[in-house]
Structure 1
Amino acid sequence: MIIGILQTGASPDALKPTMGDYPDFFERLLADRGLEFRRFTVMEMDFPSSVHDCDGWLITGSRFGAYEDHPFIKPLEAFIREAYAEHVPVVGICFGHQIIAQAMGGRVEKYKGGWSVGPTDYHFGSGPDAETITLNAWHQDQVVEKPEMAEVIASTDFCSNAGLLYDDRMFTVQPHPEFKKDFIEGLIKYRGPGLVPQATLDAATEKIDTPLGTTTMAERIADFFLSHQTRAAQRRA
C-alpha cells in the first residue's frame, strides 16, 4: 500500500542533519508494516495531481497555523475534502489533525490555555475499551470545535478534541507519535526559547524520560490504512 506523505513543515535546521526531516520520522515510525511511501512538499506547492495518486495520505505537523494565509492552505483543504469524498484514507498528525478539521467544517485557534509540550497522557475510548497512550506533544493551536461528522476518539483535560475519526476515511491525532525523546529535547533547545514559556519547557524536560506509546500508535495508524485497503478490495470483489 503506497502512502503519500504531504509535508507541511520542516525539522529545525539544527536537527535535520542528524535526525532527518518530518517525512523521515514517519517512514521510520511505520517501517515494516506493509506500507511504502512517496513524498510531496505541499508547503512549497508540490501537490499530487490526484487524490488517487497514492492509496492513502498522511499530513505532517507544521510550524504554520491552519488559519494562517499561506499559499498551500486552501489547495490542501480542497485536497482533503476531495479525498474524503472519494473515500481515500487520510491520517493527520498535529497540524494535519488541525487542517483536516478546519477543511471539514471545524474550527482551529491559538489556544488561550497555552502550550502542551513533551510526554502527555492521551485517553482513547471509554469504558472497558479505554486506553491511555503517552505521546509527545508540541502545540498551542488546537481544534476547539470539531466537524459535525467527526467522532472524538481521544482527549486530555487540556485538549478535548485530541483525536478525531471521520468514519473509515480519516483518522487524526493532535500529538506526535513520530517525535522521540531526542527530537523533543532538540525542539526545547532550538525552537522553544522565546516561543514557549520557560516554565512549560522546564516541566517537559523533567518528564522527558517518560516511556512513550509510540509502537501502539504506529500500529493504530498502519491498521487504519491497511484495514481500509482490505475493505475496498472486498467491495470490489
Structure 2
Amino acid sequence: MKIGILQTGHAPDEVKDELGDYARMFATLLEGHGFEFETFNVVDGDFPASTDAADGWLITGSKHGVYEPHDWIPPLEDFIRKVRDAGQPMIGVCFGHQIIAQALGGKVEKFQGGWAAGAQEYDFGGKQMVLNAWHQDQVVEAPEGAEVIASNDFCANAGLLYGDTIMTVQPHPEFTARMIEGLLEHRAPGVLPEAMIEEIGKQGDRPVHDREFGDRMAAFFKGKSDE
C-alpha cells in the first residue's frame, strides 16, 4: 500500500540531519507495516497530480497556521475534499488535523488558553494515551458529522473521525523525546513561556504511546480501524 505524505512544513534545520524531516519521522513511525511512501512538499507548491497518486494520504504538522494566507492552502483544502469524495483513507496530524477540519467546514483558532507542548495525556474513548504535543492552534468547532475520538481538559477536539476513511489527531505521535528537546532549544525561546519550557524539559524520556498509536494509524490505513 502506497501512502502519499503531504508535507506542510519542515523540521528545524538544527535537528533535520539527525532526525530527518517530518515525512521521514512518519515513515519511521509506520515502519514494519508494509507501506511504501512518496512525499509531496505541498508547503513548497509540490502537489500530487491526482488522488490516484497514492492509496492513502497523510498530512503532516507545520509551523504555519491553517488560517494564514498562503497560496498552497486553498489547493490543499481542495485536495482534501477530493480525497474524501474518493473514499480514500486519510490521516491528519496537528496542522493536518486542523486543515482537514477547516476544509470540511470546521473552525480553527489560535487558542486563548495558550500552548500545549511535550507529553500530554488524552482520553481516546476511555483509553488513556500519552502523546507528545506542540501546538497553540486548535480546532474549536468540529465539522458537522465529525466524531470526537480524543480529548483532554486543554483540547476538546484532540481527535476527530470522519466516517471510516478520515482520522485526525492534534498531538504528534511521530515526535520523539529528542524532537521535543530540539523544539525546546530551537523554536520555543521567545514563543513558549519560560516556566513552560523549564517544566517540559523536566519530562525527559517520559514514556509515550507512539508505537501503539502508529499501529493504530497503520490499521486505519488498511481499513482495520476497529483493531
Q: Under a length normalisation based on structure 2, what TM-score does the superposition of the two structures give?
A: 0.97
- Alignment-derived partner of residue 19 in structure 1: 19
Instruction: Give the letter aligned to residue 21 of structure 1.
Output: D
- Alignment-derived partner of residue 5 in structure 2: 5
CA-to-aligned-CA distance 1:71-120 (integer Å, 9 cap, x gap): 11000000001110110111000000000000000000000000000000
Counterpart secondary structure, 1:143: strand
CA distance, structure 1, for counterparts of residue 7 and residue 63 of structure 2: 11
CA-to-aligned-CA distance 1:152-189 (integer Å, 9 cap, x gap): 00001000000000011110000000000001000000
- Alignment-derived partner of residue 182 in structure 1: 178
Counterpart secondary structure, 2:18: helix
Over aligned residue pairs, what C-alpha RMSD do you find?
1.1
- Tell me, yes or no, if the aligned pair for 1:77 and 1:103 is still in contact at 8 Å: yes
The CA deviation at 1:228 is 6.4
5+ residue gaps, structure 1, are: 230-237
- Alignment-derived partner of residue 42 in structure 1: 42
Instruction: Give the letter aligned to residue 191 of structure 1.
Output: R
CA distance, structure 2, for counterparts of residue 155 and residue 96 of structure 1: 17
CA-to-aligned-CA distance 1:125-171 (integer Å, 9 cap, x gap): 1xxxx211100000000100000111000001000000000011110
Q: Which moved more, 1:191-200 or 1:1-10?
A: 191-200
Match for residue 146 of structure 2 among 141, 146, 150: 150
Counterpart secondary structure, 1:91: strand
CA distance, structure 2, for counterparts of residue 149 and residue 76 of structure 1: 21
- Tell me, yes or no, if the aligned pair for 1:119 and 1:208 is still in contact at 8 Å: no
Give aligned-pair identity as a percent: 54
How many residues are paired up? 225
CA distance, structure 2, for counterparts of residue 208 and residue 119 of structure 1: 10
Counterpart secondary structure, 2:52: coil
5+ residue gaps, structure 2, are: none
Match for residue 218 of structure 1 among 214, 219, 222: 214
Matched ranges for 1:4-153 at <5 A: 4-125=4-125, 130-153=126-149
CA distance, structure 1, for counterparts of residue 106 and residue 47 of structure 2: 23
CA distance, structure 1, for counterparts of residue 185 and residue 42 of structure 2: 27
CA distance, structure 2, for counterparts of residue 207 and residue 119 of structure 1: 8
Q: Under a length normalisation based on structure 1, what TM-score does the superposition of the two structures give?
A: 0.93
CA distance, structure 1, for counterparts of residue 52 and residue 202 of structure 2: 45
CA distance, structure 2, for counterparts of residue 193 and residue 95 of structure 1: 21
CA distance, structure 2, for counterparts of residue 2 and residue 106 of structure 1: 28
Match for residue 199 of structure 1 among 195, 204, 227: 195
Runs of 4+ in 1 over 3 A off after TM superposition: none
